[in-house]
Structure 1
Amino acid sequence: MNQWYCSVCHEMSDYEDKPVICEICDADHRMIFNIKEVPQSLEQVRDLARKKLKGICAGYPSCDGSFDKICQREAYGKPIGLGGIGLGRSFRGNSEALEKIQLNMSVLGDHFEPDTTCSFLDVDLEFPVLASSTAGAQKYNDAMDETQFCTSVLRGSKEAGTIGLRGDTWFYTLDDNPSLNAMKACEGYGIPIFKPRSQDVLKKLIENAEDCGCKAFGIDLDGCGSSIMALHGQPVFKKSVKDIEELVNFTNLPFIAKGIMLPDEALMCADAGASVVAVSNHGGRVLDSTPGVATMLPLIREKVGDLVTITADGGVRTGYDVLKMLALGADAVLLGRDIIRAAVGAGTLGVKMHFEHIKKTLKKAMFMTGMKNIKMIDSKILFDYNQNKEEQWEKY
């Protein structure tokens, strides 16, 4: 008799042969491990993801959209998969913008343990890093069932002490929406982000989200440029300020305006009633040659001040990157591609392990820059090459 482990719900079972399906959560054999083969490290999780995503993502140590990476090298004339649109300049731009930012190391003072706790839309979190609103893992080599993917992201996020956003794509429908199906399985602990579909469809999706007990909802405003939606005849639209106001007034759920890259448009969303502005260029997947998110983030924070909560995603791979985004003005930071790989590799377990690694490195980064808690973090910990020596040291 062998012992088997479901990486989505952690159920243990005893069978001679590998179960076809988990009796508790309906996860299929792709997410079930012999207890002796359960991954013990993130590298093992990444290795499993590499095998499942062969030809789409090689799980490189540096996920930056460079031409030598398989996601860009083999994208010409094909669906972009996990790569960036066009020549991948926006994808690379996100990583390059973060790479240029340097942290000021502070080593004198009292010893302390950094406090990473925070609140996001009145939800208490152990650290300000959330799963971004990705979707479509089922279509990546049939790597895993889509609802199980969404469930893994939500459960893994919760077990790590944070919350997950869930996305929307061309095969999601009103009657069968994997994101909302997962929300039900997780008792509403999650936030759906819908593509900018017609207002009538969005209102029905919002009502479904309310029925699931979701904490908030959002619209992927930059999804109006989604190539995969257009390819499959799913209509998406640019949304006006009036459209946003209509959706805000339609529900009591907080509204997240995702995909904002201009300070003026961030302010317009705030004025329209958005609770959160998510600074994002869709991971470089909808328009080539945009600035990196880290470039635009401080400009947007300066424009909107404290009117809204701000999140940022794009090129964030480590806890050090998270700290940089927080110092540039984000209240919370989103992870996308890394969470896809973690979920594909080992379901809920993989997502939890990845988030715990990010939290650990964020605490290390905070400790080495003298940041005792999240509220302390600001631009003083960033070295600015654009300032002369006198201006730079005036910070201190």
Structure 2
Amino acid sequence: MKRSLIIIGGGMLQLPLIRTARRMGLSVIVFDMDPDAVGMKEADMAVRMSTRDIDGCVREAKKLRQTIQVHGVITAGTDASRAVAAIAGALELPGIRYSAAEAASNKVLMRKTLRRHGVPIPDFYSVWSLKEARDALDELGCPAVLKPAENMGARGVIKIRSREELQRAYRHTKKYATTGELILEEYMEGPELSVDALAWNGQIRMTGIADRIITNEPYFIEIGHNMPSALSPAILAEAEEVMKAGMRALEIHTGAGKGDLKVTPKGVMVGEIAARLSGGWMSSHTFPLHSGIDLYRAAIRIALSEEPGDLDPVHDFVCIERGMLSAPGKILSIEGIEAMRAVPGVEEVIITKPVGSVMQPITSNIDKVGHVILRGRTLAEAEASAAAAFAHLQIAVDDTFSVDWKQVEQKARERFGESVCWVCKACDGTNCASSVPGMGGVGSQASFIDNSVALSEYKILPRYIREFVTPQTGLELFGRHLEHPIMIAPMTGATTNLGDAISEEELARHLVQGTRETGSIGWVGDGASINKYHSIYGVLKEQDGFGIAILKPRADTDALLQRIDEATEGGFVAVGMDIDAITFRTLALRGQKGMARSFAAIEELCRRTSLPFILKGIMNPDDARAAVDAGVAAIVVSNHGGRVHEELPGTARVLPEVVAAVAGRIPVLVDGGIRSGSDVFKMLCLGANAVLVGRPAVIAAVGGGLPAVKVLLQRYAVELRQTMELCGVLSLRDAGPSYLKRIKEPGESSSGAAGSSSKDRTQAT
């Protein structure tokens, strides 16, 4: 009759343990809450029960004993040691006491137990609230580490480098705290070791010590490990003694112990010790490949009250594991796996996140697509095999799929700080955190505010009795086809205006690449600093010149011409000038001066380049006519987001007059207060060929990077199509003032109709 073994957990990490038990001729009983777990399908008997429900696990085990004899209970790779200990105690099977399993599961209890027995650990505090965390940080100082008292896989573990980071870190960690309790401890500097050990009949035997490769600060992501450790024999001997002392203190006397140890300037210290076999494919793969020892077989024998067998290595290979990472988003395809498996030295490629999985930003060890196990005669040989294998790997993701806009806004708030931008629910200037420099407008913010107010005075008039239409949002502009008319306005000053919430290169790259990948064109500025444009132009060149450079109207004409020439040589889509920035405050702060240009000077600038030349900042119909006559390829109606003067009107108020003055001879673009696809539609109805969006795109870039920028533009484009469909508007050319109703202000005597607009606006140059 077969002996029976209960295995707690049926996930992928338990699968090697289940298969080992079956090869040993045992009848395998798997407990897991998920009936579709891979291990449940390979079990001789599957019991649907949460591994965290201790009472439930004991109850089901006792039921089993009524019909069959259970000979042992074990787990691997998951924090189920309390369930194992409880079942062992209830069924009188080999194992540790429940109190020992509890101390090995709760990091606060663990620390207290280890400290009581003199085992070296970092200083620590139990934390239940943000106030307690602040008080503890005052005692510990920075850097420190905050982690859930109970969880695994580095979930919720985060480094705190300054007191300002505490609140954000607390929110992050609290999400992963299964009991609500956290632990704040001093940061341990130095390399980290992963240690496996077996204990039986008063003996403790190390069964593997590996170097952990940790990255992605402030998180602690293990991207792989190397077996054996490359540290000195003296350090490894010290680590072995600390591990043994920790297991004895925690009363792990029967079964497996898994330790994370830090080699600090003070000596080897315990990060944590768990009463189980390790996960991360060390006990199941790299140690057996390194040594020739079947560690799972040995652990199972101990769980069955037997001797573990011979634990002396039969060979000494170098074995490593490397994690497969992907960008956040929905996995569309994973290619190159078979080619990876064919690389000499590759022992196994394990996929843990199949196609269709949604990957979040990497903050813990569970955020991996898979793992590669490799073996070589030397570490260099194994690492060379890893490099060759990963050269074949291609993971395609839809990086917009996992963007949570609330999280984007929250992260942007944190990165901006109190003095730059509060990321208000309505970005309309009425409650702005800053002026200029900063994200706000000048003075009373009146011009900034009026951009939104002017748009809000127009309401949309739908038409329902008509033929069905499928709106088309494409257009031709500057010789390029765009999928939609929504572009990102030129924004610079990552230090001056954004408080270093993002680097200048990152900002430009996210905005330009985001618009390009969503079917539009990104615009960049040259900044107030004299040499900043070099890095910004560099980003445009990375994108094959697919962007538009708008330059400050510098009094130094030679500097202006140099920028125009470099844009021409770079093959940019277009180049132009912020004609309204002649008194811009940030120019003065950087020792630069702006200057208005005459009609002749504008003509000369247009002739200077073979690229389309754009004037941005037009608010007056006379300027619009002059720009057309001077040879300008397009104009942008803009009050610079209310950042040049507080008494300029909202752009929606002047756009119809400017469009009428241009009379369809060149495209007219507009920015100012656009916060939705409906706003885009209003501007199109008022005569614009396309629009530019400013502050929301910066918030997206700071809070969510490239994916968030793309999500923002896609959302506006979808809203635009929905609004066009509501009104029965087939193409952008068909949008006109008859689809708008202007809501009169108190005392206003003008008619409620929108201003005139050219119906045959030119959409190509």
Question: Which interval holds the TM-score relative to the shorter structure?
Answer: 0.7 to 0.9
> How far did 1:388 drift?
7.1
Q: In the alignment, is residue 166 of structure 1 matched against residue 524 of structure 2?
A: yes
Q: Which residue of 2 aligns with 1:128?
A: 485
**Residues 1:327 and 2:653 are matched in the alignment:** no
Out of 196, 207, 216, the residue aligned to residue 565 of structure 2 is 207
Query: Which amino acid in structure 1 is aligned with residue 472 of structure 2?
Result: D
Q: Identity across aligned pairs (percent)?
A: 33
Structure showing greater Rg: 2
1:41 aligned onto 2:404: yes
Alignment partner of 1:345 is 2:543: no
CA shift at 1:169, angstroms? 1.6
* Cα shift readout 1:14-71 (whole Å, capped 9, x = no counterpart): x731179xxxxxxxxxxx94175985222222221111112211111211111x3323
Question: TM-score, normalized by length of structure 2?
Answer: 0.45
Matched, 1:91 2:448: yes
Question: 1: CA distance between counterparts of 2:724 and 2:466?
Answer: 13
Structure 2 residue aligned with 1:17? 215
Please tell me whether residue 117 in structure 1 is matched to residue 486 in structure 2: no
- Aligned mates of 2:586, 2:592 — CA distance in 1: 9
- CA 1:33–1:172 in structure 2 vs 1: closer, same or farther (change >3 Å)? farther
| Residue aligning to 2:645 | 287
The equivalent of 2:102 in structure 1 is none
Which residue matches 1:70? 433
For the residue of structure 1 that corresponds to 2:564, the secondary structure is: helix
Moved over 3 A (4+): 35-39, 384-389
User: Structure 1, residues 232-270: CA drift from partner, whole Å, max 9, x if none?
Assistant: 211221111111111111111111000010000111011
Deviation at 1:172, TM superposition (A): 4.6
Q: How far did 1:199 drift?
A: 2.0
Structure with more strand by fraction: 2
Name the aligned partner's letter for residue 600 of structure 2: K
SS of alignment partner, residue 16 of structure 1: strand
Instruction: Provide the residue aligned with 1:137 in structure 2.
Output: 494
Distance 1:33-1:235 versus aligned 2 partners, 3 A rule: farther
The match for 2:593 is 235
1:179 corresponds to 2:507: no
The answer to whether residue 464 in structure 2 is matched with residue 107 in structure 1 is yes
Residues in 2 aligned to 1:48 and 1:132: alpha-carbon distance in whole angstroms: 22
CA distance in 1, matches of 2:534, 2:468: 49
Residue 137 of structure 1 aligns to a residue in which SS?
Answer: coil
Q: Distance in 1 between matches of 2:628 and 2:467?
A: 40
Amino acid in the other structure paired with 2:566? N
Q: Deviations over 1:108-154 (max 9, x none)?
A: 22333211111111110110011001111244221111012101111
Q: Report matched runs for 1:45-64 at 5 Å.
A: 45-55=408-418, 56-64=420-428
CA contact (8 A) 1:179 1:192 kept: no
Q: TM-score with structure 1 length normalisation? A: 0.86
Counterpart position of 1:336: 694
Letter aligned with residue 17 of structure 1: T
1-structure distance, mates of 2:405, 2:611: 35
Name the CA distance, whole Å, in 1 between partners of 2:406 and 2:572.
33
Residue 42 of structure 1 aligns with an amino acid whose one-letter code is W
Letter in 2 for 1:358: Y
CA change 1:33–1:136 in 2 (3 A) is farther
Superposed CA deviations along residues 76-99 of structure 1, whole A, max 9, x for unmatched, are xxx441111011110111110000
- Cα 1:388–1:162 change in 2 (3 A) is closer
Q: 5+ residue gaps in structure 1?
A: 3-14, 21-31, 390-396
Q: Distance in 1 between the 2:614 and 2:561 partners?
A: 15
Cα deviation for residue 387 of structure 1 reads: 3.3
The Cα shift of 1:161 comes to 0.8
CA distance in 2, matches of 1:19, 1:251: 46
Give the corresponding residue for 1:309: 667
Q: Determine helix, strand or coil for the equivalent of 2:692.
A: strand
Maintained 8 Å contact 1:325/1:333: yes
**2: CA distance, partners of 1:19 / 1:249:** 51
Which letter maps to 2:676? T
Distance in 1 between residues matched to 2:433 and 2:590, nearest whole Å: 24
Tell me the distance in 1 between the aligned counterparts of 2:484 and 2:526: 25
Matched-pair contact (CA < 8 Å) for 1:87–1:288: yes
- 5+ residue gaps, structure 2, are 1-152, 155-212, 219-359, 369-398, 744-749, 754-765
Q: Distance in 2 between the 1:255 and 1:347 partners?
A: 30
Deviation at 1:107, TM superposition (A): 2.0
User: 1:370 deviation in Å?
Assistant: 1.4
Length, aligned pairs only: 360
Larger RCO of the pair (alpha carbons < 8 Å, separation 6+): 1
- Report if the CA contact (8 A) 2:518-2:710 is conserved: yes
Q: Which moved more, 1:200-209 or 1:308-317?
A: 200-209
Alignment partners' CA distance in 2, 1:290 and 1:47:
32
Query: 2:467, 2:728 within 8 Å by CA — same for their partners in 1?
Result: no
